[in-house]
Structure 1
Amino acid sequence: MLYLSGNHRLEDIQELIKQCAANDRLGQEKLYRKFYPALFLLCRKFFPEQADALEVLNDGMLKVFRNIGQYRDDKGLFFNWVYTVVRNTALDRLKNVKWNNYVDVEEINVPATDNPLAALELADIYKLLDVLPAATRVICILFYLEGFAINEICARLQLSAGTVKWHLSETRSRLRPVLLKYYSKNQGYSG
């Protein structure tokens, strides 16, 4: 998960929260612009098309503005709350994806500690993710980048464990040739 960087001073955030709670459009715009880069990247992970990512980000921020009174600073950083709201908006949208085209195989074993994306730079990860079909990409992101457990993915996307495991297996098989090409001497990836 991304965290609030040092250039987002706490006083500025508190003032923007107050403005947004008062439905101040300028305050909402400032908050949107302040968090846009990180939140757009989050949405882009799930939606390869820029227009789709932007639409989900806007829907998520609308939820933030409507529910800003529910944020409690004693529960964590404001950015983390906003990030979660936007991520959940993206996941809700993904529930409409056609998942039934995939095999439901319970016996596929996916090692939780073997992350094929762990040694890569963030920019390279986004390029690699573009080779995955949309449904597989979403599950790959949730498992390897967002840290969701298989049972959490099942619950959020209303899928069986076998379907989620199949997508994770598909991730590894589709990324293996790309990763082998990426690492000239097979360094850092055991496939």
Structure 2
Amino acid sequence: MEDIQELIKQCVANDRLGQEKLYKKFYPALFLLCRKFFPEQADALEVLNDGMLKVFKNIGLFKDDKGQFFNWVYTIVRNTALDRLKNVKWAEHVDVASIDISYNDNPLSAMESGDIYKLLDVLPPATRAICILFYLEGFSISEICARLQLSQGTVKWHLSETRSKLKPVLLKYYS
């Protein structure tokens, strides 16, 4: 297997074979990341490809002393997915006063990752995205609001919807 530094050099030189090798090396993890946000494989693949295009265009900007290369790529692809989610029509019918979100109560924490993704398929796309950002990616409510340009009430509503839609499934899972 080729060294990651060698692949980076090839990509900086715009070597198509190097780009293909790098893409294939990170594809499994990055595709799973995109599937978190987009239940349809075609949508996930489109976002992954858009993200990797950004990686290849900006690979010369990567600095070893700033962190691991995979984390840099992951962040670019995740941000590409989040940018795409901005175009989703979000529900705005929210009663903020009736919603209480506990930061310590993660209904997904004890589940296997494969089971989590199957479970998330029951959620509408907007609710699924916010659920993933909050519970799996560790974003705070205010970070989600800023990133997706949503009100705090809307984000809390989606988290409340996550709990109400997943509760019956989780009760079966743990019974």
Shift of 1:104: 2.9
Where does structure 1 lack aligned partners over 5 or more consecutive residues? 1-8, 185-191
Partner residue of 2:93? Answer: 103
The size of the alignment, in residue pairs, is: 174
1:154 aligned onto 2:158? no
Residue 69 of structure 1: how far off its partner (Å): 1.1
Deviation at 1:106, TM superposition (A): 2.8
Percent identity of paired positions between Structure 1 and Structure 2: 82
User: Could you tell me which residue of structure 2 aligns to residue 65 of structure 1?
Assistant: 56
1-structure distance, mates of 2:107, 2:47: 27
* Higher fraction of helix: 2
| Dislocated runs of 4+, deviation >3 Å | none
* Offset from partner CA, 1:113-142 (integer Å, 9 cap, x none): 100000000000001000100000000000
- Paired residue for 2:114? 123
What's the counterpart of residue 20 of structure 1?
A: 11
Q: Scaled by the length of structure 1, what TM-score is found?
A: 0.89
Taking structure 2 as the reference length, the TM-score comes to 0.97
Map of 1:82 onto structure 2:
73
Q: 2:157 aligns with which of 166, 179, 183?
A: 166
Structure 2: gaps spanning 5 or more residues: none
Q: CA separation in 2, counterparts of 1:118 and 1:175? A: 13
* 1:109, distance to aligned residue in structure 2 (A): 1.6
Matched letter for residue 106 of structure 1? V
- SS of the counterpart of 1:67? helix
**Which residue among 75, 95, 112 is the counterpart of 2:103?**
112
